[in-house]
Amino acid sequence: MKNKIAPSILSADFGTFAQEVQKLEKAGADVVHIDVMDGHFVDNLTFGAGVVAAIRPVSNLFFDVHMMVEEPQKYVDEFAKAGADSMTVHVEATPHIHGTLQAIKKAGMKASVAINPGTSVELIKPVLSMVDMVLVMTVNPGFGGQAFIPEAIEKVAELAKLRTEKELDFEIEVDGGITDETISQALDAGANVFVAGSFVFKGNVTENIEKLRAKLD
Ligand code: DX5
Ligand code: ZN
């Protein structure tokens, strides 16, 4: 599976999103990770589909929308129209996870399910055959710049094993505290999509992406 670097624009300059996203494309990012927060599921607020629509015309990169909101099924069509390529919903925030993943696919997006550090893989087993990606949170969601939780990596390995056993093909994404030091643990366990916010945007974006990529070879 292709290894992908997915910078999170949560750590970008909110005043100049369009330029920041263009910068990512030039710097060799594979995916733009877009963190949507509602102040209920997590104690932070970010933005909605309007921001996705605003940056869509300036980039051809894959837009990976991470919904840290309760009842994300309400927003599926809105984000699809705005130009999102993939929508990730948390099993903890989505009462009808199966139906919501179906709705995401029906809207023409890739469908992905996320689990928090305290959530077991067991909870998403029934939907593994229908997802394009599983997001394993390696911090508690809500804020950038937190420390990586190493125990979460066991779930990456568990998912990679299940994928082989069940002959499935979902990608495995890790999100939170990913740096040039922690990325290798996630890679070794079987992850292939690496979200990084503060590590990418602190200092030189191109150099930071290269530092991550160097660890994936
Ligand atoms: C956290 C978000 C992350 C965040 C990661 O709730 O889901 O995508 O931007 O930030 P870092 O890489 O700084 O931990
Ligand atoms: Zn995220």
pLDDT at 217: 82
Within 8 A by CB and 6+ apart from 15, the residues are none
Q: Which residues of the chain have pLDDT under 50?
A: none
**Ion ligand 2: residue ranges with CB closer than 5 A:** 35, 66, 175
Alpha carbon nearest to ligand 1 atom 4, residue: 144
For residue 140, the ligand 1 atom closest to its alpha carbon is 6
- Ligand 1 test: best mutation among 5, 14, 35, 88, most atoms within 8 Å of CB? 35
Q: Is 120 annotated as a binding residue?
A: no
pTM: 0.98
Helices (H), 30-152: 49-55, 76-82, 97-106
Ligand 1 center from residue 47 Cα (angstroms): 15
Query: Could you read off the pLDDT of 154-189 as tens digits, one per residue?
Result: 999 999 999 999 999 999 999 999 999 999 999 999
Q: What is the C-alpha to C-alpha distance for residues 33 and 11, in angstroms, rounded to an integer?
A: 11
What are the angstrom distances between the C-alpha of 111 and each of 32, 66, 116, 135?
A: 16, 11, 17, 11
Helix (H) / strand (E) containing 186: helix 183-189
Q: How many whole angstroms from 8 Cα to the centroid of ligand 2?
A: 7
pLDDT tens figures, 15-25: 999 999 999 99
Does the annotation place 90 within a ligand binding site? no
Structural domains present in the chain: 4-214 (3.20.20.70)
